[in-house]
A and B are shown apart, each in its own frame.
Chain A
Amino acid sequence: MTSQTTADGAEFGSLYPFLYRDNRPDESIVDEVCRSIVAKTREITALREDVLARDGARLLDCATAVAHRFAAGGRLLAFGNGGSSTDAQELASLFLNPSGRFRPLPAFGLTNDIAVITALSNDVGFDLVFSRQLAALGRAGDIAVGLSTSGNSENLLRAFAEARRRGMLTVGIAGYDGGKMAELDSIDHLFVVRSDSVHRVQEAQTTIYHVLWELTVAALTGASGAVAAHPDGNG
Chain B
Amino acid sequence: MARASTDAGAVRVLFGQRTAPIQHLAEQAGQIADACRAMAARFHDGGKLVVFGSGEQCADAQHVAVEFVHPVIVGKRALPAISLTGDVATLTGVASRAGFAEIFTHQLRFLAEPHDIALGLAGNGNHDDVVRALAHARQLGMLTVAMVGADPVTAPARLADHVLTAHSADPRVVKEVHVTTYHLLWELVHVFLERPDPLASGAVA
Contact = CB atoms under 8 A, between A and B. Distances in A.
The answer on A and B forming one complex is yes
A203 interface: yes
Interface residues of A, number: 58
B11 A86 contact: no
Interface in A193-231: 198-199, 202-203, 206-207, 210-211, 213-215, 218, 224
Contact of B15 (A15, A40, A48): A48
Contacts, number: 157
Interface stretch (B98-106, B107-115, B131-139, B180-188): B180-188
Contacts of B55: 97, 99
Interface stretch (B42-50, B140-148, B153-161, B170-178): B170-178
B12 A16 contact: no
Interface stretch (A56-64, A158-166, A181-189): A56-64
Contacts of A206: 175-176, 179
A19 B10 contact: no
A207 B175 CA distance: 9
Interface string A60-80: 100000000000000000000
B11 A38 contact: no
B127 to A, nearest CB: 12
B191 A15 contact: no
A86 B203 contact: no
Q: For the complex, would chain B's binding face be called helix, strand, loop or mixed by DSSP majority? A: helix
A33 B70 contact: no
A218 B7 CA distance: 10
A100 B192 CA distance: 40
A56 B198 contact: no
Contacts of B183: 40, 199, 202-203
Interface in B1-45: 3, 7-8, 10-12, 14-15, 18-20, 22-27, 29-30, 32-34, 36-37
